[in-house]
Amino acid sequence: MEEDRSLREFIAKHSRLFVLTGAGCSTDSGIPDYRDADGEWKRAQPVQFRSFMDDSLIRRRYWARSLVGWRRFGLAKPNDAHRALAALERQGRIGLLVTQNVDRLHQAAGSTAVVDLHGRLDTVRCMGCERRLPREELQQELLSRNPDWVDLDARVAPDGDADLHGLDFSGFAVPDCEHCGGVLKPDVVFYGESVPRERVTRAMQAVADADAMLVVGSSLMVYSGYRFAREAAAAGKPIATVNLGRTRADELVSLKVTRPCGTALGFLLEDSRAA
Ligand SMILES: [Zn+2]
């Protein structure tokens, strides 16, 4: 296929890649995408940072949905797209992989030079004392405090949040930090919250050090990812995108591949097996 050959050539031609990945990279792992092919929201927008911090009912609803969503989210396994990018890193071709995903599937596939731009869902952060604890530990606590919610099932969103329409969340019990009584929040960047500066700085440095940028499974609709494409374009670095729908950076891109990520990058796995 023409697109395959072009992508292969693009990757062969640029020895040090800056890679940015998004939700499309994880859809084959059973983690659905927020946006459809036109970049529009598929479902109600997720929780805003301010309302999560200010409103205990919003927090109860969030954790109730998360209790349900986490079980499936926590079972997700890497797919060919993750494995292909891990193989490319082993060949020394990736300077840094920056992901907008919070699922840690790149690391599970073996990638090591990864920045989790939007944080990680397997960790919970106390907003009072900055203590971190494993999400699984909080899951057990939530289950023991809310036995009536254990058997619920629902559609799962990319952040492990689930749709539970028409339920009363006021009785759902959410623990506070046992050390300081602070609000516990998933260690992910919510809408309305900034990406920590050191992550952006490290990613921008990697853009500067790279020969080219490869975008995998992101529409770049969110500014936190789009800014890297803009930076790369401003520095005259070629950009290739692998995404099923249109992207915000289409006019900046030198190669656009409209295929599922795992299929488009599959040749990297064949190459690594042959090597
Ligand atoms: Zn605390």
- Structure-token pair, residue 139: 């899951």
Give the relative orientation of helices 223-234 and 197-209 as an angle to the nearest 10 degrees: 30
> How far is the centre of ligand 1, averaged over its atoms, from the C-alpha of 48 (Å)?
21
pLDDT at 2: 61
CA–CA dist 133, 138 (Å, integer): 8
**Residue 250: pLDDT band with limits 50, 70, 90:** confident
DSSP at 151: T
pLDDT at 237: 97
Predicted confidence at residue 4, as pLDDT, reads 67
For residues 231 and 237, the answer to whether their CB atoms sit within 8 Å is no
Dihedral (CA of 220, 223, 228, 234) sign: positive
**Average confidence (pLDDT) over 98-124:** 96
pLDDT of residue 137 exceeding 70: yes
Ligand 1 centre distance from Cα of residue 71 (Å): 25
Q: Quick check: pTM over 0.75?
A: yes
Q: What is the pLDDT of residue 41?
A: 47
CB-CB contact of 252 with 207 (8 Å): no
User: Tokens for 87?
Assistant: 């193989």
User: In the block, which residue shows the tokens 């944080």?
Assistant: 119
Report which of residues 112 and 171 the model is more confident about.
112
Residue 43 has pLDDT above 80, yes or no: no
Handedness of CA 96, 99, 103, 106 (dihedral sign): negative
Q: What percent of the chain has pLDDT over 70?
A: 87
Residue pair 240/230 in contact (Cβ under 8 Å)? The answer is no
Phi-psi region at 236: left, alpha or beta (left = phi > 0; alpha = psi -120 to 50): left
* pLDDT tens digits, 196-235: 999 999 999 999 999 999 999 998 887 888 999 999 999 9
CA of 137 to the centre of ligand 1 (A): 15
Q: What is the whole-number distance in angstroms between the Cα of residue 138 and the centre of ligand 1? A: 13
The model's confidence at residue 39, banded by pLDDT at 50, 70 and 90, is: very low
Lowest mean per-residue pLDDT among 39-43, 104-108, 180-184, 260-264? 39-43
At 215, list the tokens: 């975008």
| Low-confidence winner among 2-6, 137-141, 212-216, 222-226 (lowest mean pLDDT) | 2-6
Predicted confidence band at 80 (pLDDT cuts at 50, 70, 90)?
very high
Section 123-130 average pLDDT: 97
The mean of the pLDDT values for the chain is 88
Q: What percent of the chain has pLDDT over 90?
A: 66
125 CA → ligand 1 middle, Å: 8
- pLDDT band per the 50, 70, 90 thresholds, residue 75: confident
Distance 69 CA to ligand 1 centre (A): 24
pLDDT of residue 154: 54
Higher pLDDT, 260 or 66: 260
pLDDT reported for residue 89: 97
Strands 184-188 and 212-216, sheet pairing: unpaired
pLDDT of residue 239: 97
| DSSP, res 6 | H
Catalytic residues: 118
Q: How many angstroms separate the alpha carbon of residue 126 from the centre of ligand 1? A: 5
Q: What is the mean pLDDT of residues 76-98?
A: 97
Instruction: Give pLDDT, residue 60.
Output: 93
